[in-house]
């Protein structure tokens, strides 16, 4: 069965609009019943003692719902629950309904490791959707490799990693950064950059890649300054002064969490006008703007693969379903969308492999394509990252983005970029 | 500060209490729990080292340190450093631009092993460092503070600030420390794979025996004249001084000892959990560990261990049952204990239960607080 | 470092860094005032101070919403109402806390630390359950954003000025309350000798409750003011606690003057360092300096030498 | 005046001030070996402060304090104690929840460092010494009792005992009979006269009857200065003293 059909009915709410004389879809409308009817035997689809019964398959959701990271991870939890609901509504995976067990990582890496272990060793989850920060992923990675689990990791991250047991549904650094830099130099004629970041691995590595690209690949461009702030820092006046004095063409900001709010509010208060000053960020999604306030960041450019305002049928349906489930006010950011991909990709892979076995899933993953992806279309690369387009959006007053640029074709994921390390 | 009440024949009470704990962790848990849960208990027990240290430092001497996480962390990092070097052999790190150094160094364009990492190539040196580094650090802080007679709340808050500084440094100097990720993916100890179930059992028992040893040392000190002097320092510092004792030295000693104990815990944590994270050096875990100790009874070695097990068990089971609401329960627990039993579970036993029981010996021992099994 | 700047630039660096420092200073004072009262005057270590601030911030958030939806005409002025609300709600919460929790612990100051830590966990989770785990954006009336152009390189941020003014006023009020009012007299009496002041007919319980309430109320105002510069999320309060305690302790717990002075020292040194080092290192150095000075003057900057 | 003296204790032009208020002002005070000196004076005269200065609890602003011809200003409390000065506080400061025996044992000038304390063993010799002192301070059969259960007077004695067991050459007692019954006072007076045999004692006391019963020489302090000094009669005769103090 091709994923073509499935893409149609992945999203129940869209049926109506898509049904318009699509033969494939009329077939797929009946597909759920079929799926459960000819459900393969448990013995066949589960040879390694995962938590799979004739009617159910158990997966785990592992995010921080308490502590500082809960701010960011809530969206991912919501997206994953939505995806699981929708899949179940269509008869589940290999004829089995998905049952999820949620654990709280509590924004604490050792806790993530503990809970990951619990989900694999005790609950025998067939797949785990979770983690947000690199630190939490690094903490659970050995667990997944030792107990041979499958993690779907939603966040854009620094790369330099590749594991049989992880599918990275977010972009790795080069995918997210390079296209944006090229675009800004090309269209804004920017020559000078000021790099900012929160003080941990992702911003530092990303800025490293950005710097290398600026200095080695962009004609006549240079970096005027690079600075890092403790996580949760709320005072940026000093660096803002430095920016005012060095007058860079582009402020390149990779500040995360609560610091964002302080940073952009203080930028605005300091009279830096985003309509004149180019600010390019890879860390601010619609979720963050919720806290920052649209009026404080309007005019800034963000570079990532998804924006809630994307105009395509998949996304319309996704946003509608999301709002139906979690309320019309909740916004959807890049990571939230990537988290939504997780369960869907897993389902497609499982049905391609005809099995829940981790090894079979891992082996079957490369080449799996999800045409119903809200961001349009994604395909899993041999390195377990996703082929995806990169887009630049400009923040609006209402907290949404206007997509001003999108790469012509899918950008290849390259977690170990030569010349950027 | 609460005062030690008068116990009926404390020694026999202790012996039986110790026996109970020993049986519990050496026999009951291994039989009752699967390896995953046992490994969890093992993790809790590493916190118990800190709690025992706090009993001496805070309960007996009245020095409240909100920075014990520092020493737990340093101990853990020293252990992790050794394991990490072993894990990042040239063979394992082929894909790096500089094979043979830890991955996080490679990510930060460090091309040669920094000098501070050299000692951790040898296990003996590393084991020495596990104790020595944190203890030395504690000595510096202690000497600076106690010689200047900084005490009470001031000491607590300064230790907190030190913890904050250290966290920022570790995270900021990620090329040398692994940054916020900590030091992850530790595999073998001298070629012995510490991730297998067998290894987990062995490490668990090693941890247990070390803990029992630590408890014994702590108890021995409490019983000695030194122990009486520490209590005297807590309640009547001036008089101790005018009895010709150099109070500062005693405080420094007990603070260093507590730190060393914490460090051992940290090292055992690294071995059992397989990585070390800067989140331990921070303020939150430091305060949590003080709370473990308070729940169990800040003056009782046994109480501290039991309290640690209890709080962590509650934490784990609540957060598994109500991932989104468990903080309410934790907060409630802390407040409840502080209000209801100022001297923790141990106090509850010695003040409330024993006096109400018929003739002392047998009962008083049996009435040692039984930890809820971690299940 | 200086090579690439002209003299004029340097002057404006000086001016603007000084100003940045002043903002930071006001922020610290606002954070610390409430604690200085509670810790300094009552010896209670309130680890939930940050949460009381965030409570104030959420109140501001609610008020702004109410204004937007019901009386948009007065929107530009909502902030003042918000601060009042924040003060009242946080203050009330403070009174309740004192009554339920703190008053049982006066004999054991260090235990208040543990109990209030528990309280802070509960409050955080409460915020999360009520307002959601995500950050909330508190919108500001336009007149508060933006900045005044002094010279072409020197700009003064309006909300910065606002925070400073606010700090000035509140500090003034507290000072008057402490050193001019009957209540302040009673507070200081209770601090210096609880039993005696009880004996001479001061209702020490009432004094304690009011003191704690006032402290929390001020925390509320601070939180409300911080919506201008910081983020409002359930766990944001944790960010402030260490700095706040350092400021208070460094100043010498008993004296307001000390608190102000230490806030000034810390903020100025930090913003100066921030300019020449990166944010992280500046923070580290500042903390180290404070710790060092505390070792030299264990009891803080401003304490009276008295016969023990 | 010669800086070297044959006095046991010599305070020369000692001053200390708290925020401008001079609690002790250019005080000169000399104590002989084997002398029992009583310091009296109205409240706030600086009596207790003088003791604080001698035992290092308060640092002198100016002046010198010599003990056995050695400067002790700036020494740490415990050093001064080890040189042979013991000090009893106004309110009895003892280890409330240790037993009488343990109180005395802790005060025994041995095993004063960490290691010594850790491996301390309660030898017969130790027990004997404790017994001996306990007998002196009228608590021979109270050794097993928790100190907190003693009567106020007994606590005063215990604290004196804790000083005696250190065998100091100079003993400083701040109001040793405060809150004692008449019989206890007599016993205490006897105790002091008994102690005197091989050491000097400074006593601060208000109770004139008690002072008469023990004092060799009396020093009257007033506003941090020596108002008068001499034996009881001469002091009581002194009009200035009458005026500021005894008069009414």
| Mean of the per-residue pLDDT values of chain D | 87
Give yes or no for a contact between B145 and C295, defined as CB atoms under 8 angstroms apart: yes
B60 close to C (CB below 8 A): no
The per-residue b/e assignment along C287-306, b for 16 or more CB within 10 angstroms, e otherwise, is bebbbeebeeebbbbbeeee
A259–C231 C-beta distance less than 8 A: yes
- The domain D16-84+168-186+197-248 is placed in CATH, from the list 3.40.190.10, 3.40.50.300, 1.10.287.610, 3.40.47.10, at 3.40.50.300
Report chain D residues whose CB lies below 8 A from the CB of C305: 18-19
Q: What would the two tokens of residue A137 be?
A: 């992923």
Residue A4 has pLDDT above 70, yes or no: no
- What does the alpha-carbon distance between residue C222 and residue C224 come to, in Å, rounded to a whole number? 5
Residue A11 has pLDDT above 80, yes or no: no
User: Each residue of C229-255: pLDDT tens digit?
Assistant: 788 889 888 888 888 888 888 887 667
In chain A the domains, ranked by start, together with CATH numbers, are 3-170+310-388 (3.40.50.2300), 173-304+393-406 (3.40.50.2300)
B323–A200 C-beta distance less than 8 A: no
Asked, for residue B3, whether it belongs to a domain, the answer is no
In C, minimum Cα distance to A75 occurs at C134
Distance from CA of A83 to the nearest CA of C (A): 20
List all chains that touch chain C, counting a touch as 3 or more CB pairs closer than 8 Å. Answer: A, B, D
Distance from CA of C17 to the nearest CA of B (A): 23
Asked, for residue B291, whether it belongs to a domain, the answer is yes
- Strand ranges for C111-253 from DSSP E: 147-149, 155-157
Report chain A residues whose CB lies below 8 A from the CB of B173: none
Radius of gyration from C-alpha coordinates of chain C: 20
Report chain D residues whose CB lies below 8 A from the CB of C307: 18, 23, 48-49, 52, 58
Mean pLDDT of D108-130: 89
Mean pLDDT of D115-122: 87
In D, minimum Cα distance to B252 occurs at D114
The residue ranking higher by pLDDT, D198 or A1, is D198
Asked, for residue B1, whether it belongs to a domain, the answer is no
Residue B363 has pLDDT above 60, yes or no: no
Beta sheet of A151-153, edge-to-edge order: A97-104, A56-63, A128-130, A151-153, A166-168
**Domain of B278, in residue numbers:** 12-69+142-168+198-366
Distance from CA of D105 to the nearest CA of B (A): 9
Report chain B residues whose CB lies below 8 A from the CB of A122: 34, 36
Closest CA to A221 of A230, A207, A211: A211
Helix (H) or strand (E) holding A253: strand A250-254
Give yes or no for a contact between A323 and A115, defined as CB atoms under 8 angstroms apart: no
Instruction: Tell me if there are at least 3 CB pairs under 8 Å linking chains D and C.
Output: yes
Report chain A residues whose CB lies below 8 A from the CB of C226: 234
Give me the torsion for CA of D82, D83, D88, D90, rounded to 10°.
-110
**Which pLDDT belongs to residue B10?**
62
User: Each residue of A59-116: pLDDT tens digit?
Assistant: 999 999 988 888 889 999 999 999 999 999 999 999 999 999 999 999 899 999 999 9
The residue extents of the domains of chain D are 16-84+168-186+197-248, 97-167
Strand partners, C147: C157
Interface probe, candidates C106, C118, C127, C241, chain B, greatest B C-beta count within 10 A:
C118
Mean pLDDT of D6-20: 85
Report chain B residues whose CB lies below 8 A from the CB of C290: 161
Residue A41 has pLDDT above 80, yes or no: yes
Asked, for residue B306, whether it belongs to a domain, the answer is yes
C246–B161 C-beta distance less than 8 A: yes
Distance from CA of A153 to the nearest CA of B (A): 16
| Residue B103, φ and ψ in degrees, nearest 5 | -55, -40
**Which pLDDT belongs to residue A10?**
39
Distance from CA of B228 to the nearest CA of D (A): 8
Q: Please state the domain count of chain B.
A: 1
Report chain D residues whose CB lies below 8 A from the CB of B60: none
C307–D23 C-beta distance less than 8 A: yes
Report chain B residues whose CB lies below 8 A from the CB of C299: 154
B319–A135 C-beta distance less than 8 A: no
User: Each residue of A18-39: pLDDT tens digit?
Assistant: 333 333 333 344 444 444 446 7
Give yes or no for a contact between B161 and C242, defined as CB atoms under 8 angstroms apart: yes
Model ipTM? 0.88
**Which pLDDT belongs to residue B25?**
93
Distance from CA of D109 to the nearest CA of B (A): 7
In A, minimum Cα distance to C233 occurs at A71
Give yes or no for a contact between C61 and C203, defined as CB atoms under 8 angstroms apart: no
Helix (H) or strand (E) holding A393: strand A391-395
**Which pLDDT belongs to residue B1?**
37
Interface probe, candidates B51, B145, B161, B279, chain C, greatest C C-beta count within 10 A:
B161
| Mean of the per-residue pLDDT values of chain B | 87
* DSSP calls for C193-226: -HHHHHHTT--HHHHHHHHHHHHHHHHHHHHHHH
Instruction: Tell me if there are at least 3 CB pairs under 8 Å linking chains A and C.
Output: yes
Mean pLDDT of B23-39: 93
Q: Would you place residue C143 in the very low, low, confident or very high pLDDT band (cuts 50, 70, 90)? A: confident
- DSSP letter at B372 equals P
Distance from CA of A62 to the nearest CA of C (A): 16
Distance from CA of C269 to the nearest CA of A (A): 12
Report chain B residues whose CB lies below 8 A from the CB of A103: 319-320, 323
C308–D58 C-beta distance less than 8 A: yes
């Amino acid at each position: 069965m091709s994923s073509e059909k499935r893409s149609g009915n992945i999203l129940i709410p869209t049926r109506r609009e898509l049904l318009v004389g699509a033969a494939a879809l009329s077939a797929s409308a009946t597909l759920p019943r079929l799926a459960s009817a000819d459900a393969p035997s448990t013995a066949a689809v589960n040879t390694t003692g995962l938590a799979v019964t004739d009617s159910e398959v158990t997966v785990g959701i592992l995010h921080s719902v308490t502590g500082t990271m809960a701010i960011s991870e809530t969206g991912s939890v919501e997206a994953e629950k939505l995806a699981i609901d929708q899949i179940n509504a269509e008869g589940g995976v290999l004829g089995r309904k998905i049952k999820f067990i949620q654990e709280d990582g509590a924004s604490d890496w050792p806790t993530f490791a503990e809970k990951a272990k619990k989900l694999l060793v005790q609950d025998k989850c067939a797949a785990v959707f979770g983690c947000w920060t690199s630190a939490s992923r690094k903490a659970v990675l050995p667990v997944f490799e030792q107990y041979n689990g499958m993690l779907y990791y939603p966040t854009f991250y620094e790369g330099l990693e590749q594991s049989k047991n992880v599918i990275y549904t977010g972009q790795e650094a080069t995918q997210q950064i390079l296209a944006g830099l090229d675009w800004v130099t090309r269209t804004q004629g920017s020559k000078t950059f000021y790099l900012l970041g929160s003080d941990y691995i992702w911003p530092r590595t990303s800025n490293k890649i950005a710097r290398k690209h600026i200095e080695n690949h962009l004609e006549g461009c240079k970096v005027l300054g690079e600075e890092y702030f403790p996580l949760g820092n709320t005072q940026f006046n000093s660096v803002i002064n430095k920016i005012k004095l060095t007058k860079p063409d582009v402020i390149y900001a990779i500040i995360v969490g609560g610091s964002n709010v302080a940073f952009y509010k203080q930028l605005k208060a300091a009279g830096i006008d985003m309509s004149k000053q180019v600010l390019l960020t890879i860390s601010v999604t619609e979720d963050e703007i919720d806290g920052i306030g649209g009026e404080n960041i309007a005019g800034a450019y963000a570079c990532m693969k998804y924006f809630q305002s994307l105009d395509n049928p998949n996304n319309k349906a996704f946003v509608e379903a999301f709002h139906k489930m979690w309320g019309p006010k909740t916004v959807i950011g890049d990571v939230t969308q990537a988290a939504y991909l997780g369960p869907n990709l897993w389902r497609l892979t499982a049905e391609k492999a005809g099995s829940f076995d981790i090894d079979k899933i891992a082996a079957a993953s490369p080449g799996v394509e999800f045409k119903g992806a809200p961001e349009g279309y994604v395909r899993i690369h041999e390195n377990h990252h996703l082929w995806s387009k990169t887009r630049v959006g400009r923040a609006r007053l209402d907290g949404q983005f206007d997509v001003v640029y999108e790469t012509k074709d899918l950008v290849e994921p390259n977690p170990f970029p030569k010349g950027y390390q | 500060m609460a005062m030690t009440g008068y116990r009926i024949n404390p020694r026999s009470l202790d012996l039986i209490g110790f026996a109970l704990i020993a049986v519990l962790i050496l026999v009951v848990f291994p039989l009752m729990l699967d390896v995953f849960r046992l490994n969890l208990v093992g993790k809790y027990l590493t916190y118990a080292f800190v709690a025992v240290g706090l009993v001496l430092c805070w309960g007996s001497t009245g020095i409240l340190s909100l920075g014990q996480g520092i020493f737990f962390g340093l101990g853990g990092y020293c252990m992790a450093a050794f394991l990490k070097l072993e894990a990042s052999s040239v063979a394992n790190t082929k894909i790096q631009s500089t094979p043979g150094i830890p991955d996080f160094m490679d990510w930060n364009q460090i091309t040669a092993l920094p000098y501070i990492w050299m000692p951790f190539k040898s296990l003996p040196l590393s084991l020495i460092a596990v104790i020595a580094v944190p203890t030395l650090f504690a000595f510096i802080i202690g000497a600076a503070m106690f010689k200047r007679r900084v005490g009470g709340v001031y000491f607590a808050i300064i230790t907190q600030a030190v913890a904050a500084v250290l966290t920022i440094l570790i995270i900021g100097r990620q090329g040398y420390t692994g940054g916020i990720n900590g030091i992850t993916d530790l595999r073998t100890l001298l070629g012995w794979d510490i991730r297998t179930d067998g290894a987990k059992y062995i490490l668990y028992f090693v941890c247990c025996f070390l803990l029992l040893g630590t408890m014994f040392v702590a108890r021995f000190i409490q019983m000695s004249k030194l122990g009486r002097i520490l209590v005297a320092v807590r309640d009547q510092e001036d008089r101790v001084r005018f009895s010709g004792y150099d109070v500062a030295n005693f405080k420094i000693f007990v603070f260093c000892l507590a730190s060393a104990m914490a460090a051992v815990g940290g090292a055992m944590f690294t071995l059992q959990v397989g990585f070390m994270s800067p989140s331990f050096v921070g303020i939150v875990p430091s305060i949590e560990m003080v709370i473990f100790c308070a729940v169990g009874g800040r003056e009782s070695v046994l109480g501290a261990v039991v309290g640690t097990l209890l709080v962590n068990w509650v934490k784990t089971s609540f957060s598994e049952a109500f991932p989104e609401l468990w903080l309410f329960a934790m907060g409630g627990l802390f407040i409840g204990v502080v209000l209801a039993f100022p001297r923790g579970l141990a106090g509850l036993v010695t003040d409330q239960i024993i006096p109400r029981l018929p003739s002392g010996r047998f009962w008083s021992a049996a009435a040692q607080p039984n930890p809820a099994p971690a299940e | 470092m200086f090579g690439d700047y002209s003299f004029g630039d340097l002057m404006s660096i000086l001016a603007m860094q000084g100003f940045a420092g002043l903002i930071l200073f006001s922020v610290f004072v606002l954070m610390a005032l409430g604690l200085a009262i509670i810790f300094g005057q009552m010896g209670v270590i309130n680890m939930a101070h940050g949460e009381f601030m965030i409570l104030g911030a959420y109140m501001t958030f609610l008020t702004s919403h109410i204004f937007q939806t019901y009386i948009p005409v007065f929107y530009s002025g909502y902030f003042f109402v918000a601060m009042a609300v924040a003060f009242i709600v946080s203050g009330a919460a403070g009174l309740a806390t004192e009554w339920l929790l703190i008053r049982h612990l006066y004999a054991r100051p260090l235990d208040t630390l543990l109990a209030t830590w528990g309280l802070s966990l509960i409050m955080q989770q409460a915020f999360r359950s009520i307002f959601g785990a995500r950050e909330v954006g508190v919108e500001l009336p336009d007149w508060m954003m933006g900045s005044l152009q002094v010279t072409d390189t020197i700009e003064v941020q309006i909300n910065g000025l606002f925070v400073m003014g606010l700090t000035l006023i509140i500090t003034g009020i507290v000072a008057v309350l402490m050193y001019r009012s009957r209540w302040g007299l009673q507070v200081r009496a209770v601090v210096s000798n609880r039993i005696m002041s009880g004996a001479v007919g001061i209702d020490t319980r009432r004094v304690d409750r009011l003191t704690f309430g006032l402290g929390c109320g001020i925390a509320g105002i601070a939180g409300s003011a911080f919506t201008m510069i910081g983020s409002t999320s359930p766990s944001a309060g944790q960010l402030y606690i260490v700095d706040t305690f350092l400021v208070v302790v460094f100043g010498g717990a008993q004296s307001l003057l000390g608190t102000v002075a230490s806030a000034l020292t810390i903020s100025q040194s930090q913003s100066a360092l921030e300019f020449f080092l990166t944010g992280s290192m500046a923070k580290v150095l500042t903390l180290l300096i404070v710790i060092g000075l505390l070792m030299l003057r264990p009891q803080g900057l401003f304490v009276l030498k008295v016969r023990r | 005046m010669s800086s070297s003296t044959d006095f046991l204790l010599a305070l020369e032009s000692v001053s200390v001030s708290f925020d401008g208020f001079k609690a002790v002002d250019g005080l000169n005070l000399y104590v002989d070996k084997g002398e029992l000196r009583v310091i009296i004076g109205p409240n706030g005269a600086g009596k207790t402060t003088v003791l604080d200065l001698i035992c290092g609890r308060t640092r002198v602003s100016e002046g010198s304090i010599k003990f056995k011809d050695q400067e002790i200003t700036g020494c740490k409390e415990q050093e001064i104690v080890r040189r042979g000065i013991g000090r009893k506080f106004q309110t009895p400061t003892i280890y409330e929840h240790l037993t009488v025996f343990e109180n005395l044992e802790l005060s025994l000038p041995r095993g004063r460092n960490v290691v010594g304390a850790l491996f301390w063993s309660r030898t017969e010799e130790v027990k004997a010494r404790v017994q001996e002192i306990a007998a002196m301070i009228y608590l021979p059969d109270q050794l097993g009792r928790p100190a907190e259960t003693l009567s106020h007077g007994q606590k005063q004695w215990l604290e004196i005992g804790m000083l005696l067991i250190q065998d100091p050459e100079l003993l400083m007692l701040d109001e040793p009979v405060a809150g004692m019954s008449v019989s206890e006072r007599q016993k205490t007076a006897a105790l002091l006269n008994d102690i005197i045999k091989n050491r000097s004692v400074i006593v601060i006391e208000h109770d004139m009857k008690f002072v008469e019963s023990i004092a060799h020489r009396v020093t009257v302090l007033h506003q941090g200065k020596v108002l008068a000094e001499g034996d009881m009669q001469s002091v009581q005769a002194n009009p200035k003293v009458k005026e500021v103090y005894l008069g009414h």
